[in-house]
Amino acid sequence: MVENKVIVVTGAGGGMGEAIVKTLLTNGAVVVGLDIADDKMKLIDNERFSYETINLLHEQDVNEVFANVYEKHGQIDGLVNAAGIAQNSTSIEDVTLDQWNKINGINSTAVFLTCREATRYMKKKKSGSIVNIVSVAAVRPRPGLQAYVASKGAAEMFTKALALEVAPFGIRSNVLHPGPAETAMLGQFSKIGEDVDATKEEVFRQSVPLGSLIEPQDIAEGVLYLVSDNSKIVTGASLNIDGGRGI
């Protein structure tokens, strides 16, 4: 499905990112991982995998990394944006401008920066597929997560606007909405001082009609579909992988 496609995955050092990278490698892709943390990426031993430790908010570094990938491989076929940060549930009057800017920066601005560079090179081949991991919270918000929800809403509509703009160049751009997933991030949505395990069980798991948290592999399977030619007529779509949480 993705054999020999060159696919850049941001957040490759995270819970979903790791599963996405391994699934793409299993299916024959050439994968470049990008993350600010390299502890998981450096353990992936595959000749078709390389990685860069990078802060995705540093514009010049992002530009250089995509230029280098293109120079080395001669093509960029896919971009999967899985980098992101959570927000501790916080009353609006306690959210600082710095927190707002940081959350919106990584969850939204970094998506713009990477998509801008990826499309630059995809246009040369007149094909490509972008998958932006957003969140079902963008359409089913929770109290206290206003900055996170806003950042994800921006990423969703950006992805759709981009889909329309780059369709004439054979490039697709889709949203994947995970529901509450079993990764390190989930515990970071609790209020500070709250029992994280209890919140996972009582708030998050119980919010999923199918009754279990989403596994990183569930997300990876969706990414595989959206980045592959099996979804060649799908663009501007939002795919919920959320156990029904978005209903």
Ligand X SMILES: NC(=O)c1ccc[n+]([C@@H]2O[C@H](COP(=O)([O-])OP(=O)(O)OC[C@H]3O[C@@H](n4cnc5c(N)ncnc54)[C@H](O)[C@@H]3O)[C@@H](O)[C@H]2O)c1
Told to check if 11 binds ligand X by CB under 6 A, we report yes
User: Given candidates 5, 17, 117, 226, which one binds ligand X under the rule CB under 6 A?
Assistant: 17
Q: Checking phi first, is residue 33 left (phi over 0); if not, alpha (psi -120 to 50) or beta?
A: beta
Task: Kindly tell me which of 116 and 123 has the beta carbon lying closer to ligand X.
Answer: 116
* Residue number with CB closer to ligand X (23 or 168): 23
Tell me if residue 148 is catalytic: yes
Question: What residue is closest to ligand X based on CB?
Answer: 14
Q: Which stretch binds ligand X (CB under 6 A): 9-17, 63-71, 91-99, 229-237?
A: 9-17
In Å, how far are 41, 90, 150, 154, 184 from 10, measured between CA atoms? 11, 27, 20, 18, 16
Task: Assess 175 for contact with ligand X (CB under 6 A).
Answer: no
| DSSP-assigned letters across all residues of 17-77 | HHHHHHHHHHTT-EEEEEES--TTGGG---TTEEEEE--TT-HHHHHHHHHHHHHHHS---
Indicate which residue of 51, 70, 121, 148 is catalytic. Answer: 148
Q: Measured in Å, how far apart are the chain's first and last C-alpha atoms?
A: 30
In angstroms, rounded to a whole number, what is the distance separating the alpha carbons of residues 48 and 35?
Answer: 17
Site for ligand X in 128-147 (CB under 6 A): 133, 135
Query: Is residue 44 a contact point for ligand X (CB under 6 A)?
Result: no
Which residues 6+ apart lie within 8 Å of 63 measured at CB? 117
Tell me the window of 8-16, 62-70, 113-121, 123-131 that interacts with ligand X (CB under 6 A): 8-16
Burial 4-23 (b: 16+ CB within 10 A, else e): ebbbbbbbbbbbbbbbbbbb
8 or 185, CB closer to ligand X?
A: 185
80 in contact with ligand X (CB under 6 A): no
106 binds ligand X (CB under 6 A): yes
Q: Which of residues 57-76 bind ligand X (CB under 6 A)?
A: 57
| Span interacting with ligand X, options 112-120, 156-164, 173-181, 226-234, rule CB under 6 A | 173-181
CA distance 122 to 30: 15
| Minimum distance, C-beta of residue 134 to ligand X, in the bound complex (Å) | 7
Q: Which residues bind ligand X (CB under 6 A)?
A: 11, 13-17, 35-37, 54-57, 82-85, 106, 133, 135, 178, 180-181, 183-186
